[in-house]
Amino acid sequence: MNHHLIGICELKNLFELNLGGNKLEGHLPRCLNNLTHLKVLDISSNQLSGILPSVIANLTSLKYLALSDNKFKGRLFSFCSLANLSKLEIFQLSIETDLLQVETENCLPTFQLKVLSLTNCNLDVIPKFLLHQFNLKYLDLSHNKLVGNFPTWLLENNTKLEVLYLINNSFSRFQLTSAQHGLLSLDISRNSFSGKLPQNMGIVLPKLVYMNISKNRFEGNIPSSIGKMQGIRFLDVSSNNFAGELSQSLVINCFSLGWLDLSNNNFDGQIFPNYTNLTELWALYLHNNNFSGKIKDGLLRSTELMVLDISNNNLSGHIPSWMGNFSELSFLLMSKNLLEGNIPVQFNNLARLQILNISENNLCGSMISTLNLSSVKHLYLQNNALSGSIPNTFFRDSALETLDLRDNYFSGRIPHQINEHSNLHALLLRGNYLQGPIPHQLCHLRKLGIMDISHNRLNGSIPACITNMLFSRVENGYLYGFDWVLSMYLDDAYVSNYYNSTVELLLDGNDERMLGALVEANFMTKNRYESYKGDILELMAGLDLSSNELTGDIPSEIGDLQNIHGLNLSHNFLSGSIPESFSNLKMIESLDLSHNKLNGQIPPQLTELHSLSTFDVSYNNLSGPIPDKEQFSTFDESSYRGNLHLCGPAINKSCTNLPELLEPSSKGAEDEFAVDMVAFYWSFVASCVTVMLGLLAILWEQLPIAFKRCKFFTIYQNSRDPSNQIAEELNYLSNKSA
């Protein structure tokens, strides 16, 4: 490092030296103090070590100094070392160790800063020298340990202050003076502020363009004076304890708003009243509140809307057809409400729609055949009462990446018209009334990572070509395609010339509210449902064919799915042996083959599955010793229950002196008796089910017509699950009698 900079030290008339972001290591050479004409020095984002550079004390011409993100150690760094830099206007420092000395300062710097950034400096008090700074335009003290009241004196001292960031500290009380201030950007998110917002907030800070007070403990309602902020473009009050109806002044007078986030609060009342005047709005987040009633048409003026999230409220009525007029809409999220009816055909006009989530509502009826959501990448319709056949367009359109139709009343067959160039990554059809064989055309879904078609009435054998679905991680960035950044530069030409300072009004594609967090897939593995998002979703691969009527042998080719994490073939009528090729499933964590008719031994090669944490082969006809090495030493008796001819320590049954197992063809009368008993049990259950259905039909005829609506599905939505328990007991009894 020193060797390479010796030449630079000879450039005594050098005006600007920018070494930022070069991964430089070592110490800065002392000869840099010869550069007395230097006005700009940036050594940020390197690996520099040693004592915080003392050479800068002699660089009296400095106006810009950036020392952030290095590995400096040694003695404490005091602002007194900068006291002689009378021309300094911009200073940046972030240091994760406790090297910044602020409490014992007894000197007054000769400079007047315009920009100061002291982030991640472990500060527990605000530096005293700031009491003597009066020209600040940008101040960032985020990610420290500051406590106490909001520092109103910073506003009083610095009447030109435009940007104030106090993110991720521990301030507890928010107060303002009565004097009006020209602040443009305020971010006090992720603190411990509580109580109500000052009633005069909009009067004191009328010029705010950006305000983020999210992730605090504010309560009460938003003061009506917020309506005085007629130029505000970004307002985030999410994740607080605000309550009550929205102020009219907010939705009428804040007409410049582009981003409004009121989510994760306790707001109530109706949304979008007719007087709403948010004409510039393009992102609106109202999820996780208590809004109720029908969706009003006040948003019709918001023609630029791109993101609308009203999920997890108490909204009712039909989905308004006018929502199909938002030509710029990309994300529409309305899940977990009380909406009813069907999807408006006007949604065909949403040419830019990428995510549509109207799951967990009371939508009912058949899917409209003319519905064509050709631009949608992620479609969530689960937990409704939709019925009829699954539209072929869902499989023909190559744009679709996630299709979630779980827990509805879809019937018929899985469509065969599958686009070979499909981008489908998650196919979730669990809990419907689909029947017929698994179509071989599904094997064209080569980008599929998660498929759940369990709890249906599918029959026939498992297609061997299912291994054409690679069930591997998607290409890097495959699920994400957004990089939106909207910035407001400081208007001081001199400052912005040396300091690329921005007020980020919208975060980029990694922001949790953008696509990465909105795309998810729910999949049952390890006996529990998990929600996979972001990078985890990219890595997850799982196949669930359980609770159907599948027959035949398990294809040995499934052993080629080496990237799969979860495989569930339980509650079917599969026969034959467990393929030895399953030992190739090196990434598998959960394997469930229970409640089938599998026979033979558990392949000892399965002990090579070192990631396996959940294993279930209960209620089959397996025999022989249970592997007891590696992961198999952790599985208890419940994994093997209902297999009378298994033995081993896991079930406390010795493998010595076992009777020789009979071939299936030589069981004679005893086997015939077992078959007769199974027939008897099933006949008995069938008779009971017939009687129950008859009684339900009689009761149905007696119900008022008004009650016979689609929401009646909630009465018996889970009625299929008990039959699985009956089947388990029957299978166990048949094995026992055998």
pLDDT given for residue 491 in this prediction: 43
pLDDT given for residue 679 in this prediction: 47
Query: pLDDT (tens digit, 9 = 90+) per residue, 389-428?
Result: 998 888 776 788 999 999 999 999 999 887 777 888 999 9
Q: Which residue has the tokens 């506003």?
A: 155
H-run or E-run covering 537: helix 534-539
| Choice between 91 and 473, residue whose per-residue pLDDT is larger | 91
Residue 278 burial (C-beta neighbours within 10 Å; 0-12, 13-18, 19+): buried
CA 273/CA 270 separation, integer angstroms:
7
Architecture of domain 1-128: Alpha-Beta Horseshoe (3.80)
pLDDT given for residue 510 in this prediction: 38
Q: Which amino acid is at 308?
A: L
Residue 415 burial (C-beta neighbours within 10 Å; 0-12, 13-18, 19+): middle
pLDDT given for residue 689 in this prediction: 57
CATH superfamily of domain region 521-529+538-664: Ribonuclease Inhibitor (3.80.10.10)
pLDDT above 70 (res 669): no
pLDDT given for residue 194 in this prediction: 97
Query: pLDDT (tens digit, 9 = 90+) per residue, 554-574?
Result: 999 999 998 899 999 999 999
Architecture of domain 136-293: Alpha-Beta Horseshoe (3.80)
pLDDT above 70 (res 690): no
pLDDT given for residue 74 in this prediction: 60
pLDDT given for residue 659 in this prediction: 57
pLDDT given for residue 21 in this prediction: 80
Which residues in 382-468 belong to E strands, given as ranges?
385-388, 402-404, 409-412, 426-428, 433-437, 450-452, 457-460
What does DSSP say about strands 210-212 and 234-236: parallel, antiparallel, or unpaired?
A: parallel
pLDDT given for residue 738 in this prediction: 44
pLDDT above 70 (res 513): no
pLDDT confidence bin for 360, thresholds 50/70/90? very high
The pLDDT > 70 percentage for the chain reads 78
Q: Which amino acid is at 104?
A: T
Domains 136-293 and 521-529+538-664 share a fold: yes
Question: Whole-number mean pLDDT of the chain?
Answer: 82
Query: pLDDT (tens digit, 9 = 90+) per residue, 254-305?
Result: 999 999 999 999 999 999 888 999 999 999 999 999 999 999 999 999 999 9
Question: Looking at residues 728-733, what average pLDDT do you find?
Answer: 48
pLDDT given for residue 22 in this prediction: 83
The reported pTM is 0.83
For the chain, domain boundaries = 1-128, 136-293, 521-529+538-664, 674-737
171: helix, strand or coil = strand
pLDDT above 60 (res 511): no
pLDDT above 60 (res 680): no
CA 280/CA 258 separation, integer angstroms:
5
pLDDT above 50 (res 732): no
Buried b (16+ CB within 10 A) or exposed e, 38-59: bbbbbbbbbebeeebbeebebb
pLDDT given for residue 541 in this prediction: 87
The pLDDT > 90 percentage for the chain reads 54
